[in-house]
């Protein structure tokens, strides 16, 4: 007997990268040496002091029971300590912190928490595709904010019509940015707060790559700007900062009413994250941050190796200012998907086609710097063999 899926599931956006991932796995299964620069999965292990904290916590019989609804108080206090130390932002652990089952879950949960059918959401293009999933679950409407190279991949709020700004109820932002590697300034965030205040728009800042800034510049938190907590929240995941992607632990901080809405929805979906994971997360946030410094230095070194290598073969692109991604124009005559397929099929290098991140991602591919420098150099050497670029 076949049971048909609901209209809700049918209306979810297609997962663009599933087919690319399957194609990569097909090559790997056949024994082909694929250099996978298309993924966003950190390649380093979780720091040992965090793993040891988890090992100890697992043995605590108190943690074998259901975790408290809305998370452990000690983790919420650790989040507050982290934000005060790193950004000078003061938070109330009881009212301004929500524990999440990974950043993705929080991002997808937000639209159903705040929107009604037909409401308008401002979404960056290119941007993280799971923003679209949450909008679809809320049966809301997306208005895209183009991220253009000439505007440093920041949205131009003046380009939005007055009608769109009046209708908008929610806005997604993400800096350091996936996929472009761009960063934002406090001045831009202040402009965002001013817009959100005027039009009563809730801002959701996806701060997944918050720790990863280059050239001595620390990416600012949206909440560092005056008035930010009045108009929105920030979602921070431990996946990237501490290589804890598989642990599924993150948090939302900021506006009390939004945090309350997230907690209410999660009350109906979950109990809470396994308390041993929460204790390990507390250790990550509050103990030595030397592992974070070392990680950022490693990504910056990989970035420098990659950018130097592609410039040597004539592939011109701007170096990312943050995240672990590079955003590169495709050669003339190719679409982003055609170029990605060519690299995979001819030289066995996987990259992510920009079209998968939105209409304005067309003409670019995303490269993840998530393999060792030797493999990065080898990938560029393979691409050079195609003779698609010429030194200027």
Residue 182 lies in a domain: yes
Residue 125 shares a structural domain with residue 263:
yes
Range of the domain at 226: 48-286
pLDDT of amino acid 20? 80
Convert 82-95 to b/e letters by CB count within 10 Å (16 or more is b).
bbeebbebebebee
The pTM assigned to this predicted structure is 0.96
Q: What is the pLDDT of residue 391?
A: 54
Write out residues in the chain with pLDDT < 70, as ranges.
391-392
DSSP per residue over 350-388, as a string?
E-EEGGGG-GGGTTEEEEE--S-HHHHHHHHHHHHTT--
Mode of pairing for the β-strands spanning 232-237 and 352-353: unpaired
CATH of the domain at 212: 3.40.640.10
Same domain, 268 and 306: no
- Indicate the residue among 248, 269, 286 that finishes a domain: 286
DSSP states of 86-125? HH-----TTTSEEEESSHHHHHHHHHHHH--TT-EEEEEE
206 domain-assigned: yes
Alpha carbons 282 and 24: distance in angstroms, whole number: 36
Task: Quickly tell me which residue has 């190796």 as its tokens.
Answer: 305
CA–CA distance, 10 with 6 (Å, rounded to integer): 6
Tokens found for residue 306: 């990659």
Task: Clarify whether residues 130 and 196 are in a common domain.
Answer: yes
Q: Check residue 392 and give its pLDDT.
A: 44
Q: Are residues 97 and 179 in the same domain?
A: yes
The neighbouring-strand residues paired with 234 are: 205, 253
Number of domains forming the structure of the chain: 2
pLDDT for position 104: 95
């Amino acid at each position: 007997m076949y049971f048909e899926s609901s209209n809700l599931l049918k209306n979810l956006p297609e997962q663009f990268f599933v087919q690319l991932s399957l194609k990569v796995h097909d090559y790997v299964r056949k024994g082909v040496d694929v250099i996978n620069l298309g993924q966003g999965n950190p390649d380093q292990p979780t720091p040992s002091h965090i793993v040891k904290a988890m090992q100890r916590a697992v043995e605590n019989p108190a943690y074998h029971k259901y975790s408290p609804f809305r998370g452990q108080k000690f983790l919420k206090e650790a989040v507050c300590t982290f934000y005060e130390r790193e950004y000078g932002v003061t938070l109330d652990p009881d009212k301004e912190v929500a524990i999440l089952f990974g950043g993705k879950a929080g991002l997808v949960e937000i639209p159903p928490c705040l929107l009604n059918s037909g409401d308008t959401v401002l979404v960056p293009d290119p941007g993280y595709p799971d923003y679209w999933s949450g909008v679809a679950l809320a049966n809301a409407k997306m208005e895209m904010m183009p991220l253009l190279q000439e505007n440093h991949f920041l949205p131009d709020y003046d380009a939005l019509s007055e009608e769109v700004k009046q209708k908008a109820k929610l806005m997604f932002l993400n800096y350091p940015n996936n996929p472009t590697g761009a960063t934002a300034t406090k001045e831009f965030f202040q402009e965002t707060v001013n817009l959100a205040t005027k039009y009563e728009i809730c801002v959701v800042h996806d701060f997944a790559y918050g720790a990863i800034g280059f050239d001595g510049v620390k990416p600012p938190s949206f909440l560092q700007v005056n008035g930010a907590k009045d108009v929105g929240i920030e979602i921070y995941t431990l996946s990237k900062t501490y290589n804890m992607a598989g642990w599924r632990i993150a948090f939302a901080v900021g506006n009390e009413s939004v945090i309350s809405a997230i907690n209410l929805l999660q009350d109906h979906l979950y109990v809470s994250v396994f308390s041993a994971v929460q204790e390990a997360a507390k250790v990550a946030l509050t103990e030595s941050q030397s592992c974070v410094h070392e990680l950022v230095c490693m990504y910056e070194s990989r970035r420098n190796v990659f950018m130097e290598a592609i410039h040597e073969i004539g592939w011109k692109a701007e170096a990312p200012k943050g995240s672990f991604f590079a955003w590169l124009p495709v050669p003339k005559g190719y679409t982003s998907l055609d170029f990605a397929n060519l690299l995979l099929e001819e030289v066995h290098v996987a990259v992510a086609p920009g079209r998968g991140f939105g209409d304005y991602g067309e003409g670019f591919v995303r490269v993840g710097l998530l393999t060792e420098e030797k493999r990065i150099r080898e990938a560029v050497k393979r691409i050079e063999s195609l003779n698609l670029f010429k030194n200027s």
